[in-house]
């Protein structure tokens, strides 16, 4: 009899505990439901960034690099420009009427960011340690290698880095670029001009014999003069990571750009068409020897956005 009573008592204590714990859990769930999201949201970051409230976003692009950044009949086009449009739309500046395009020469990219002339630079900007002391980078959004483009008449004579060192060949590159340093490292003396376009014009006018820069920029000029030039694959070794330049004082904007690139990367990885892939296929894709895919952006912050709840599979 006392055994049954004891069991009843134990049972009622267990019930009390279960009821109390369930009520506690329910209360905790209620509090949890009311708290703010633990991670910053895209909107929070936008409010932190200096572009918040601006009527237009100022983006620095190249206007003389075919396929990457060019100005044709008053309309900006190219891979970098398409990426810039996607980023602008992500940041709330959809359409060219909300974008102020600032044409930048290669060596003006860092000063323009530092001086507040532009909010972003999307212009074949290689991410290097040196530059990261002066500006912030989000990316990479493209991995490219340094190559050399020679006129068809020289395609059999300039094949190696050794050939570039020979004094009879005049090698040209643009100032303030990573190519300049890379050529120096390989003891190649180069004529440094303002724009890669000047080198190409120089070769066509007989002033230079070869031009060295990123394969993407060279592909652009090759697309303009497909019968006059050829790209020679040379083992320069280091690959270039192209990133989006952001003022160093605006980490929120850097985070947003990295997050936008990551969004496109994840879309592409899941087999969907991504903004990156669309930009690539419309511009560089047909002109590069090997097909490329979007590289994974580095240091992407964890942010919450409205479409996070969408199914991923």
Partner 1 sequence: MSAAVTEEARPATPPPAVRDPAERRARASQSFWSAVVGVPAIFSVLRLGVEAGGELQTTLLLVANVGTVNLLAGFLTTAARLLSTGLVATFALGAVLRVSVERMPATVRRPLLARWVDVTPAWFAVASFLLALITWQLLYLPLLVPAFVAAFQLTPARLHERRIPRLLILAGLLVGYAWLLAPTLVDAARQREWLAVALLAAPPLLALWITGPLPGAVIRPLASITEAAVLATLVWAALPVISTPVLPLTVTTVESAPGVTEDIRGHVVTTDDVSMVLLQDRGGVRYVPTDQVRAQVLCPGEEELPRHRLRIHDFHVDDSLLEGLGRRVRPVHRIDAACRAVG
| Chain CA centroid to CA 303, Å | 18
Q: In this chain, which of 79, 90, 229, 276 binds partner 1, going by CB under 8 A?
A: 90
173: β partners = 192
In angstroms, the Cα distances linking 131 to 39, 71, 179, 271 are 30, 26, 14, 34
Find out whether 124 and 215 touch, Cβ atoms under 8 Å: no
Quickly count: other Cβ atoms within 10 Å of residue 202's Cβ: 17
Residue 313 CB, nearest distance to partner 1 (Å)?
Answer: 5
Q: In this chain, which of 72, 185, 289, 302 binds partner 1, going by CB under 8 A?
A: 302
Sheet holding 69-72, edge to edge: 64-65, 69-72, 75-77
Count, residues near partner 1 per rule CB under 8 A: 54
Q: In this chain, which of 4, 5, 38, 129 binds partner 1, going by CB under 8 A?
A: 38
- Please give the structure tokens belonging to residue 174: 């643009």
Residue 259 CB, nearest distance to partner 1 (Å)?
Answer: 12
Residue 146, classed as helix, strand or coil, is strand
- Please give the structure tokens belonging to residue 17: 């505990």
Does 137 help bind partner 1 (rule: CB under 8 A)? Answer: no
Give the gyration radius of the chain's Cα atoms. Answer: 27
| Chain CA centroid to CA 14, Å | 59
Q: Which stretch binds partner 1 (CB under 8 A): 122-130, 185-193, 216-224, 304-312?
A: 304-312
Does 269 help bind partner 1 (rule: CB under 8 A)? Answer: no
Smallest CA-to-CA distance from 238 within 162, 310, 143, 304 is with 143
Residue holding tokens 């952001």?
A: 246
Q: In this chain, which of 6, 7, 22, 189 binds partner 1, going by CB under 8 A?
A: 22
Does 152 help bind partner 1 (rule: CB under 8 A)? Answer: no
Phi, psi of 56 (to 5 degrees): -135, 155
- Please give the structure tokens belonging to residue 56: 């237009």
In angstroms, the Cα distances linking 25 to 2, 22, 31, 32, 125 are 34, 5, 10, 10, 52
Q: Which stretch binds partner 1 (CB under 8 A): 19-27, 128-136, 169-177, 203-211?
A: 19-27
Instruction: Kindly tell me which of 90 and 236 has the beta carbon lying closer to partner 1.
Output: 90
Instruction: Kindly tell me which of 93 and 101 has the beta carbon lying closer to partner 1.
Output: 93
Residue 274 CB, nearest distance to partner 1 (Å)?
Answer: 12
User: Residue 181 and residue 186: Cα distance in Å, rounded?
Assistant: 9
Does 14 help bind partner 1 (rule: CB under 8 A)? Answer: yes
- Please give the structure tokens belonging to residue 292: 């490329």
Does 296 help bind partner 1 (rule: CB under 8 A)? Answer: no
Residue 30 CB, nearest distance to partner 1 (Å)?
Answer: 6
Does 4 help bind partner 1 (rule: CB under 8 A)? Answer: no
Residue 26 CB, nearest distance to partner 1 (Å)?
Answer: 6
Q: In this chain, which of 4, 26, 156, 271 binds partner 1, going by CB under 8 A?
A: 26
50: β partners = none
Instruction: Kindly tell me which of 42 and 203 has the beta carbon lying closer to partner 1.
Output: 42
Does 11 help bind partner 1 (rule: CB under 8 A)? Answer: yes
Instruction: Kindly tell me which of 168 and 306 has the beta carbon lying closer to partner 1.
Output: 306
Does 50 help bind partner 1 (rule: CB under 8 A)? Answer: no
Does 74 help bind partner 1 (rule: CB under 8 A)? Answer: no
Residues of the shown chain interacting with partner 1 in the complex, contacts defined by CB under 8 A: 9, 11-19, 21-23, 25-30, 32-39, 41-43, 46-47, 52-53, 88-94, 97-98, 302, 304-313
């Amino acid at each position: 009899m006392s055994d049954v009573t004891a069991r009843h008592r134990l049972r009622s204590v267990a019930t009390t505990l279960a009821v109390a714990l369930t009520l506690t859990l329910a209360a905790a769930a209620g509090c949890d439901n009311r708290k703010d999201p633990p991670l910053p949201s895209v909107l929070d970051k936008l409010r932190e960034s200096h572009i918040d409230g601006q009527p237009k976003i100022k983006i620095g692009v190249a206007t003389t690099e075919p396929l990457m950044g060019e100005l044709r009949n008053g309309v900006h086009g190219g891979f970098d420009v398409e990426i810039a449009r996607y980023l602008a739309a992500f940041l709330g500046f959809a359409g060219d009427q909300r974008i102020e395009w600032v044409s930048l020469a290669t060596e003006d990219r860092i000063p323009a960011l530092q001086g507040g002339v532009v909010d972003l630079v999307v212009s074949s900007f290689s991410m290097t340690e040196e530059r990261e002391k002066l500006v912030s980078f989000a990316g990479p959004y493209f991995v490219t290698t340094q190559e050399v483009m020679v006129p068809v008449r020289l395609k059999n004579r300039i094949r190696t880095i050794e050939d570039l060192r020979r004094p009879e060949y005049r090698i040209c590159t643009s100032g303030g670029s990573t190519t300049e340093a890379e050529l120096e490292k390989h003891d190649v003396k180069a004529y440094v001009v303002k724009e890669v376009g000047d080198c190409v014009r120089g070769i066509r006018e007989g002033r230079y014999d070869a031009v060295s820069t990123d394969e993407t920029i060279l592909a652009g000029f090759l697309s303009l003069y497909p019968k006059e030039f050829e790209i020679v694959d040379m083992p320069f070794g280091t690959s270039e990571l192209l990133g989006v330049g952001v003022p160093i004082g605006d980490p929120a904007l850097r985070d947003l750009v990295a997050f936008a690139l990551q969004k496109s990367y994840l879309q592409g990885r899941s087999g969907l068409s991504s903004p990156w892939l669309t930009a690539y296929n419309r511009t560089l894709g047909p002109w590069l020897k090997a097909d490329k895919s979007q590289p994974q952006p580095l240091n992407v912050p964890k942010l919450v956005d409205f479409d996070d709840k969408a199914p991923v599979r």
